[in-house]
Structures are given as structure tokens and as C-alpha cells.
Structure 1
């Protein structure tokens, strides 16, 4: 039989109301000695707070859900850590769902989280989208979105990384080093951040009066294996001296391909990644990349969503600027 507040009150010789105040952390008018005794006794007796019963009274379960496309990608792991730390600081628990970049799985978890009556959901959308499926989905809780152009009705909060200026900065760094044919290895997705990065790539070229050439654009999945296989199959167009990759995983694939082909990095080819994940710091050479403030993104998403849950809804969207981190995978074009 489970332990009740009445059992604890009897053991401590206090009222049930006093026990309730202590266990629900509304005990400002309770003495320190009684508070410590109640907490110690409840722990010794194995008492577990009935969150479901409590939520029926308060309409708040103190839980959030977070959906990530691929938890193996360190970029998403950092977002989760930021969100989790902010949630815990605010007294909330976080349920993590990995969607494997599949819209069906994303919607399945969305429905399950609503069934669990979480107070809010953070969505980092899967690469695979289906507008019709999204538009008819009724989301009954507050939710926040990172970056992407999802079509779920009623989004409360959005945190957006400045992808356009991030990629523009990458090109503006490479061009003064003498790179004139810069290959852009983009990711396969219909999400808006990819369009923004392509705009940034084009603007960077324009800043240096470099012509845009569609032959210098290719798309693969956002993975080490996909980018490496693309280069194994197709190689690079003649004259390319630098590559901007869609994320750090893709840049790792480029590094592996270059190593297999005895292409020296950065002497023969410069590489810029995107995300500044842990992968950028453990590669050889370490990777020049764009820092997207992934941890800060998760922190902000949770913070803004919690403010909405508590009734403060002044801020709808926040733009996070990226920054170039220069390491050993880039250098000036060699002259012969």
C-alpha cells in the first residue's frame, strides 16, 4: 500500500495540511525543524508525490516535451542540454523524443506528449515535412519551434538562428584568402534554414564579385557517410579550393574523403563546417565552422516557453546570430 500524507502526518505528529505545505514547497510559514522532520520522514517512508492528482488541481504537470531529429548529432544534444538545464532550474522535467527525421514519427510523439498532458513542447522539426499532415494537426498545448517553417497551427515561440549571415560570413572569410571557386555541399531538406544559407552563400560571393555557378552546389543527407560517398562518386569540379559544408558531420565526411585521396587540408583544400559541435574540435585538423549557439538555443526555447506557460507572452521570436570559429581546416590558397 502506498504511503499517504496522512501517514506522514501521524508519524510526525503534525496536521495533514502542514505535510502538504512542506511536500508541495509552500511552507514559508512552517518552522525549519518541522519542515526538516516532514521531509526526512517522507523519504524514510518512501512517499512519492502524486503528480497526476496534483496536476488535476493545478492544471499544470510541471513537464515539457522536446522533439529532436537525431540525438546522435551533437548539435541537437547541446540544444537538449540547454533546454533541460533551464527546465530543471524552473522546477520542470523534460521528456525527450527522437524523431529520426521522419514526419510520421514526429506527429506520433506530438500526440503522445499531448496525451501525457505536458505543459509545453519544444519542436526541432524533422527534415522530412508534409504540410497537409501538419496543418490538420491540432496541438492542444503551447509549443516552441527552433528555426524551421513548420505548419502546425498556433506556434507560441520561435528561436531562429541567423543562417543567412552565418553562411555569408563563411564565404567572406574564404574569399580574402584567395579562394575563388567555393563549393557548397548543402543538406537535403525543404526546411527554410537551407534556403537562408544558400542566400548567404550567394551574397558572400556577390560581396567579392564572384559569379554564382550552380555546378558548385550539391546536396546530400546531413551525415558523414553521405557527404563522403558523394565526393567518392562525383569528386569536385575543377578549380575548387574550398568547401562550405551544411553541418559539421558533412564536413567530417569531406575530411575522410580528402584523407583517402591524399588531399592535404588545408594546403590543397580548405573546409568550413556549420554548428561548432564537438565533432569540430576532435577532428584532425580541427574544423573551422560557424557557431550557432546550440546550447543557448535550447535554453532560450525552454525559457520563453515557460514564460508563456506562466502567462508572460511579450516575446514571440528571438534571432540568434552565429559566429565564425577559425581553426586548422582553412588557409590561404597555395600559389605555385
Structure 2
């Protein structure tokens, strides 16, 4: 900064004001000269030195279970865009759905002195490991799927009503034998979706049949293998899945089994990711506002960082997106 000041013929204090964007009392001409000169000289702000003075690193961390899953990618984009809009950078950590990897990254993020952390929980949980973690920064969670104490913000999707809408849609088309292929997890959102599935059946006075419930991993390969191994129970005319990746697995299995979607079998996914709009046929799915979830996680977390102390919960509605993969019950 001394070299920039010498070249521009101004004080070091003036250069500091411009580079730290606290230059209200600096003329436009001087401001532009300092910025131009600093760029020519290759000046880079020392973020560590600045954070020691301001106690703020302008960085956030986000824990992502599986970056290959388009649902999580949409959340990350929403979070990144909101962080950048507010002058923050976002560190992405992919946990591969492993609790030990998640906790490792949490510790590393706190070592880096990020200002806040967003936790989208991995499928694998360990209550004892989580409860002893001491968070020294505000943190936000999605769907409250963790046992970490002292969260500042949680964003909750309406998983129960989302699955209820899926079943109601299929029942309105005449389907009465509706299979639900759930994800294999103990996380609360999975229990909420099962509850919504049962409520949707009850809305149409359809008896719940445990033989029409299956579970596997949240992946294309797992869903395809499930039906290759077990087939469809007798009389089933429609399938709901735990996410869009699983629905793609059902699509592939159905094609190889000689079943037409939706003429022979109707199919509903969950998440309404980009995958739902590029399949053939296009996938009916439950929209979860994933991008908006990412925005809200950052938006509300920044309020906590800036001094809001009361924990806050934000609820987001789910909605049915009707496309080509559902139709009337086959004759």
C-alpha cells in the first residue's frame, strides 16, 4: 500500500480507505487512480490480516452430502448466489453421506475461522459424535436432520404434504395400487414423506398395504436394481420414489422390462431437479424450492452473524409439477 500511495501521490490512509471500500470522503478521480494503480501493481488484499482486525473473514462453509445429486447442486447455487450478493465467499465441502467426513470438515471450517456454517446433513448419523461437537460460529441446518446442539437457523421443507400431493394426484387418475420406493434412511424427512404417503391413501379411502412399500439407497442404480430383484407387486399401476434419481432408475428398469410410462405404469419423482425436465417422458415430480432453500439458509445465517440472537425456523411449501410420466390407470 505504501508503494501504491507513493505512485499515486496520496497518503497510505487514502489508499487503505479505497481498497477497503470506506472511501466516502475520497474524490472520484483519486478513487479511480488508486484502483487502477493497485490493479497494475498486482495488489491482493490480505484477508487474514483484515480478519484479525475486523473479526470477520467474509467466508461461509456449506456441507453437501452428494454434489452429484442435482437437488443439492441447486441448493448450493442458491447459497452461493446469496453469499456473493452480500460480499461473502462460500467454501463447499462434499461429505459423501459419511458422518466422519462431515465432522472432519466442520472442524476444518472452524479452524479457518469462517463466519458461519450451513449443514445439509449426510444420511449417516451418529448421535454421540454430533452431540459433543462445539460450534463456535452460528450455523444453519436444512430439515433439522442433525443432532448438533445450538443451531441458529433451520429451513424446513414440507415433505409430508409433498408426498401427500403425489399420492392424491395418482389417486385422482384412478390408481389404487400405488407403490412407494422410499430412501433408506432414518432422517426425519423420510418419516414425514411416509406419513404423507399414508395420508394421501387415507384421503381416498385406500387401505395402507405394507407390501407396497420398499426402500433402497437414494440413487438411480439402487432403484433400478430394486425392481430388477423384486419386480412390481401384483396389480401395482403407479410408483412414487424418494427422489428424481430413483425415478430415473425406475424409468430405466421399466424400459428394459417392456413397460411403457405412463401407459402401463405411472411414475412420480421427488425434488423436481433439472433431471425431471430432461427425461423422456418428462417426469412428474414434487417441487421443493431447492434454490430458494439455499438462498434462505445464507440470508438467515447472515442475520445471525450480524447480531440476531433468536433461533429462527423458516418453512417452505412443496408443490406438484405435473408432466408426462403420469396418466390414467391402465385398463
TM-score bracket, normalised by the shorter chain, equals: over 0.9
2:74 match: 78
Q: Deviation per CA, 1:33-90, whole angstroms, max 9, x where unpaired?
A: 1000001111100111011010001110000000100000111000000000000000
Aligned match for 2:238, one of 229, 235, 242: 242
Please state how far the C-alpha of 1:311 moved relative to its aligned partner: 1.2
Please state how far the C-alpha of 1:312 moved relative to its aligned partner: 2.9
Q: Is the 8 A contact 1:290 1:325 kept in 2?
A: yes
2:298 match: 302
Please give the alpha-carbon distance, in whole angstroms, between the structure 1 residues aligned to 2:79 and 2:69: 16
Please give the alpha-carbon distance, in whole angstroms, between the structure 2 residues aligned to 1:30 and 1:189: 58
1:293 match: 289
2:202 match: 206
Q: Where do residues 209-288 of structure 1 align in structure 2 (5 Å cutoff)?
A: 209-288=205-284
Helix, strand or coil at the partner of 1:65? strand
1:25 match: 21
Please give the alpha-carbon distance, in whole angstroms, between the structure 2 residues aligned to 1:176 and 1:226: 29
Helix, strand or coil at the partner of 2:277? helix
Aligned match for 2:161, one of 154, 165, 176: 165
1:12 match: 8
Please state how far the C-alpha of 1:6 moved relative to its aligned partner: 1.1
Helix, strand or coil at the partner of 1:186? strand
Please give the alpha-carbon distance, in whole angstroms, between the structure 2 residues aligned to 1:108 and 1:315: 25
Give the structure-2-normalised TM-score. 0.99
Q: Is the 8 A contact 2:78 2:294 kept in 1?
A: yes
* Structure 2: segments with no counterpart, 5+ residues: none
Please state how far the C-alpha of 1:140 moved relative to its aligned partner: 1.1
Does 2:94 align with 1:92? no
Q: Is the 8 A contact 1:123 1:143 kept in 2?
A: yes
Give the structure-1-normalised TM-score. 0.97
Q: Is the 8 A contact 2:151 2:311 kept in 1?
A: no
Aligned match for 1:119, one of 115, 122, 127: 115
Aligned match for 2:32, one of 32, 36, 41: 36
Please state how far the C-alpha of 1:314 moved relative to its aligned partner: 5.3
Please state how far the C-alpha of 1:149 moved relative to its aligned partner: 2.5
Please give the alpha-carbon distance, in whole angstroms, between the structure 2 residues aligned to 1:87 and 1:56: 21
1:109 match: 105
Helix, strand or coil at the partner of 1:290? strand
Does 2:86 align with 1:53? no
1:192 match: 188
RMSD: 0.8
Q: Is the 8 A contact 1:304 1:315 kept in 2?
A: no
* Structure 1: segments with no counterpart, 5+ residues: none
Provide the aligned length of Structure 1 versus Structure 2. 331
Please give the alpha-carbon distance, in whole angstroms, between the structure 2 residues aligned to 1:314 and 1:33: 45
Q: Is the 8 A contact 2:160 2:193 kept in 1?
A: yes
Q: Is the 8 A contact 2:65 2:95 kept in 1?
A: yes
Q: Is the 8 A contact 2:120 2:141 kept in 1?
A: yes
Q: Is the 8 A contact 1:166 1:323 kept in 2?
A: yes
2:313 match: 317
